[in-house]
Amino acid sequence: MGAYRIRPQPPGNNSLIPTVIFTLLVANGLAFAAQNASREMFVTLLGSLALWPAGSEYFAPWQFVTYGFLHGDLTHLLFNMFTLWMFGRDIERFWGPRYFAIYYLVCVVGAGIVQLLVAMFQPEVYPTIGASGGVFGILLAYGLMFPNRQILLLIPPIPMKAKYLVILFGVLELMYGVTGMQPGVAHFAHLGGMLFGFLLIQYWRRAR
Protein backbone atom coordinates (compact mmCIF):
# COMPACT_ATOMS: atom_id res chain seq x y z
CA MET A 1 0.00 0.00 0.00
CA GLY A 2 3.04 2.27 -0.29
CA ALA A 3 1.40 4.30 -3.06
CA TYR A 4 -0.75 5.97 -0.43
CA ARG A 5 2.19 7.29 1.55
CA ILE A 6 2.87 10.93 0.85
CA ARG A 7 6.47 12.15 1.08
CA PRO A 8 7.67 10.08 4.05
CA GLN A 9 9.66 11.93 6.69
CA PRO A 10 13.13 10.89 7.87
CA PRO A 11 13.14 8.32 10.70
CA GLY A 12 13.52 9.54 14.26
CA ASN A 13 10.29 11.46 14.81
CA ASN A 14 9.05 9.08 17.49
CA SER A 15 7.54 11.43 20.05
CA LEU A 16 4.57 10.05 21.96
CA ILE A 17 2.37 12.92 20.77
CA PRO A 18 3.45 14.46 17.42
CA THR A 19 3.24 18.21 16.89
CA VAL A 20 -0.07 18.63 15.06
CA ILE A 21 -1.89 16.06 17.18
CA PHE A 22 -0.62 17.76 20.34
CA THR A 23 -1.87 21.11 19.03
CA LEU A 24 -5.27 19.63 18.20
CA LEU A 25 -5.57 18.00 21.62
CA VAL A 26 -4.79 21.28 23.36
CA ALA A 27 -7.09 23.33 21.10
CA ASN A 28 -10.02 20.97 21.57
CA GLY A 29 -9.43 20.81 25.30
CA LEU A 30 -9.36 24.59 25.63
CA ALA A 31 -12.48 24.95 23.50
CA PHE A 32 -14.31 22.43 25.68
CA ALA A 33 -13.23 24.28 28.81
CA ALA A 34 -14.51 27.54 27.31
CA GLN A 35 -17.83 25.87 26.44
CA ASN A 36 -18.32 24.88 30.04
CA ALA A 37 -17.11 28.10 31.62
CA SER A 38 -20.65 29.47 31.79
CA ARG A 39 -24.05 29.09 30.20
CA GLU A 40 -23.60 32.38 28.38
CA MET A 41 -20.26 31.30 26.93
CA PHE A 42 -21.73 28.00 25.78
CA VAL A 43 -24.60 29.74 23.96
CA THR A 44 -22.20 32.25 22.38
CA LEU A 45 -19.79 29.59 21.11
CA LEU A 46 -22.60 27.39 19.85
CA GLY A 47 -24.18 30.27 17.97
CA SER A 48 -20.98 31.54 16.36
CA LEU A 49 -18.66 28.53 15.97
CA ALA A 50 -20.93 25.48 15.53
CA LEU A 51 -21.86 24.55 11.95
CA TRP A 52 -25.38 25.77 11.22
CA PRO A 53 -27.38 24.97 8.06
CA ALA A 54 -26.62 27.31 5.17
CA GLY A 55 -30.10 28.86 5.26
CA SER A 56 -29.90 29.63 8.98
CA GLU A 57 -29.38 33.15 10.29
CA TYR A 58 -26.48 31.79 12.37
CA PHE A 59 -24.49 30.34 9.47
CA ALA A 60 -21.00 31.74 8.73
CA PRO A 61 -18.24 30.38 6.43
CA TRP A 62 -15.67 29.93 9.22
CA GLN A 63 -17.95 27.38 10.86
CA PHE A 64 -16.70 24.75 8.37
CA VAL A 65 -13.52 24.67 10.50
CA THR A 66 -14.54 25.87 13.95
CA TYR A 67 -17.31 23.31 14.47
CA GLY A 68 -14.62 20.65 14.61
CA PHE A 69 -13.28 22.06 17.88
CA LEU A 70 -16.56 21.95 19.83
CA HIS A 71 -17.98 18.86 21.54
CA GLY A 72 -21.28 17.95 23.14
CA ASP A 73 -19.93 16.38 26.32
CA LEU A 74 -16.77 14.97 27.88
CA THR A 75 -17.32 11.47 26.45
CA HIS A 76 -17.65 12.92 22.95
CA LEU A 77 -14.40 14.86 23.40
CA LEU A 78 -12.40 12.01 24.93
CA PHE A 79 -13.46 9.47 22.33
CA ASN A 80 -12.53 11.75 19.43
CA MET A 81 -9.22 12.82 20.93
CA PHE A 82 -8.19 9.29 21.91
CA THR A 83 -9.00 8.01 18.42
CA LEU A 84 -7.12 10.92 16.84
CA TRP A 85 -4.07 10.16 18.95
CA MET A 86 -4.24 6.38 18.57
CA PHE A 87 -4.54 6.31 14.78
CA GLY A 88 -3.03 9.65 13.86
CA ARG A 89 0.42 9.25 15.44
CA ASP A 90 1.91 7.00 12.79
CA ILE A 91 0.31 8.98 9.99
CA GLU A 92 1.75 12.30 11.16
CA ARG A 93 5.15 10.72 11.72
CA PHE A 94 5.13 9.37 8.19
CA TRP A 95 3.63 12.33 6.34
CA GLY A 96 5.06 15.06 8.52
CA PRO A 97 3.10 17.83 10.27
CA ARG A 98 2.33 19.91 7.17
CA TYR A 99 0.64 17.17 5.16
CA PHE A 100 -1.07 15.76 8.22
CA ALA A 101 -2.55 19.16 9.15
CA ILE A 102 -3.76 19.75 5.59
CA TYR A 103 -5.33 16.31 5.46
CA TYR A 104 -7.09 16.66 8.79
CA LEU A 105 -8.54 20.09 7.98
CA VAL A 106 -9.72 18.93 4.55
CA CYS A 107 -11.55 16.04 6.23
CA VAL A 108 -13.18 18.39 8.76
CA VAL A 109 -14.31 20.82 6.05
CA GLY A 110 -15.44 18.00 3.77
CA ALA A 111 -17.47 16.45 6.57
CA GLY A 112 -19.13 19.83 7.13
CA ILE A 113 -19.98 20.20 3.45
CA VAL A 114 -21.63 16.77 3.34
CA GLN A 115 -23.51 17.50 6.56
CA LEU A 116 -24.94 20.74 5.14
CA LEU A 117 -26.02 18.95 1.97
CA VAL A 118 -27.87 16.38 4.08
CA ALA A 119 -29.37 19.13 6.27
CA MET A 120 -31.01 20.64 3.17
CA PHE A 121 -33.43 17.68 3.14
CA GLN A 122 -34.26 17.78 6.84
CA PRO A 123 -36.95 20.03 8.33
CA GLU A 124 -35.17 20.67 11.64
CA VAL A 125 -32.58 23.42 12.03
CA TYR A 126 -29.78 22.32 14.33
CA PRO A 127 -26.02 22.88 14.64
CA THR A 128 -23.31 20.27 14.10
CA ILE A 129 -20.27 20.03 16.38
CA GLY A 130 -17.40 17.64 16.90
CA ALA A 131 -14.09 16.52 15.42
CA SER A 132 -15.52 13.20 14.23
CA GLY A 133 -15.33 14.11 10.53
CA GLY A 134 -11.58 14.66 10.81
CA VAL A 135 -11.17 11.58 12.99
CA PHE A 136 -12.99 9.35 10.49
CA GLY A 137 -10.73 10.72 7.77
CA ILE A 138 -7.76 9.69 9.89
CA LEU A 139 -9.24 6.21 10.29
CA LEU A 140 -9.53 5.91 6.52
CA ALA A 141 -5.92 6.98 5.97
CA TYR A 142 -4.74 4.51 8.60
CA GLY A 143 -6.60 1.67 6.92
CA LEU A 144 -5.06 2.56 3.56
CA MET A 145 -1.52 3.02 4.87
CA PHE A 146 -1.39 0.13 7.34
CA PRO A 147 -4.11 -2.24 6.08
CA ASN A 148 -2.84 -5.41 7.74
CA ARG A 149 -2.08 -4.06 11.19
CA GLN A 150 -4.03 -5.79 13.93
CA ILE A 151 -6.34 -3.53 15.95
CA LEU A 152 -7.84 -4.77 19.21
CA LEU A 153 -11.41 -3.55 19.50
CA LEU A 154 -12.76 -2.54 22.88
CA ILE A 155 -16.33 -3.71 22.27
CA PRO A 156 -16.18 -6.59 21.46
CA PRO A 157 -12.54 -7.22 22.51
CA ILE A 158 -11.44 -9.01 19.34
CA PRO A 159 -8.47 -8.34 17.02
CA MET A 160 -9.21 -7.06 13.52
CA LYS A 161 -7.07 -5.87 10.63
CA ALA A 162 -7.14 -2.13 10.09
CA LYS A 163 -8.62 -2.39 6.59
CA TYR A 164 -11.57 -4.41 7.88
CA LEU A 165 -12.08 -2.01 10.78
CA VAL A 166 -12.38 0.90 8.36
CA ILE A 167 -14.85 -1.00 6.19
CA LEU A 168 -16.88 -1.94 9.28
CA PHE A 169 -17.05 1.67 10.46
CA GLY A 170 -18.02 2.87 7.00
CA VAL A 171 -20.82 0.33 6.67
CA LEU A 172 -22.15 1.08 10.16
CA GLU A 173 -22.15 4.83 9.57
CA LEU A 174 -24.01 4.40 6.29
CA MET A 175 -26.55 2.08 7.92
CA TYR A 176 -27.13 4.38 10.88
CA GLY A 177 -27.39 7.41 8.63
CA VAL A 178 -29.93 5.85 6.28
CA THR A 179 -32.07 4.18 8.95
CA GLY A 180 -31.87 6.91 11.60
CA MET A 181 -31.08 4.31 14.27
CA GLN A 182 -28.83 6.77 16.15
CA PRO A 183 -30.57 10.15 16.07
CA GLY A 184 -28.51 13.14 17.08
CA VAL A 185 -25.30 11.79 15.51
CA ALA A 186 -24.04 13.25 12.22
CA HIS A 187 -23.32 9.94 10.50
CA PHE A 188 -23.17 11.45 7.03
CA ALA A 189 -20.58 13.95 8.28
CA HIS A 190 -18.44 11.00 9.36
CA LEU A 191 -18.78 9.50 5.90
CA GLY A 192 -17.99 12.91 4.41
CA GLY A 193 -14.72 13.02 6.31
CA MET A 194 -13.80 9.61 4.93
CA LEU A 195 -14.85 10.59 1.41
CA PHE A 196 -12.86 13.83 1.29
CA GLY A 197 -9.86 12.09 2.87
CA PHE A 198 -9.96 9.43 0.17
CA LEU A 199 -10.26 12.04 -2.59
CA LEU A 200 -7.31 14.03 -1.21
CA ILE A 201 -5.13 10.91 -1.01
CA GLN A 202 -6.00 10.09 -4.61
CA TYR A 203 -5.13 13.64 -5.64
CA TRP A 204 -1.78 13.45 -3.87
CA ARG A 205 -1.04 10.12 -5.53
CA ARG A 206 -1.65 11.59 -8.97
CA ALA A 207 0.20 14.80 -8.16
CA ARG A 208 3.34 12.78 -7.46
For residue range 32-64, what is the model confidence (pLDDT) as tens digits?
999 999 999 999 999 999 999 998 899 999 999
| Cα distance between residue 36 and residue 30, in whole Å | 10
| Cα distance between residue 63 and residue 65, in whole Å | 5
Q: What is the dihedral of CA 79, 48, 46, 64, to 10 degrees?
A: -30
For residue range 84-136, what is the model confidence (pLDDT) as tens digits?
999 999 999 999 999 999 999 999 999 999 999 998 888 788 899 999 999 99
Domains of the chain: 2-207 (1.20.1540.10)
Q: Does 14 score more than 80 pLDDT? A: no
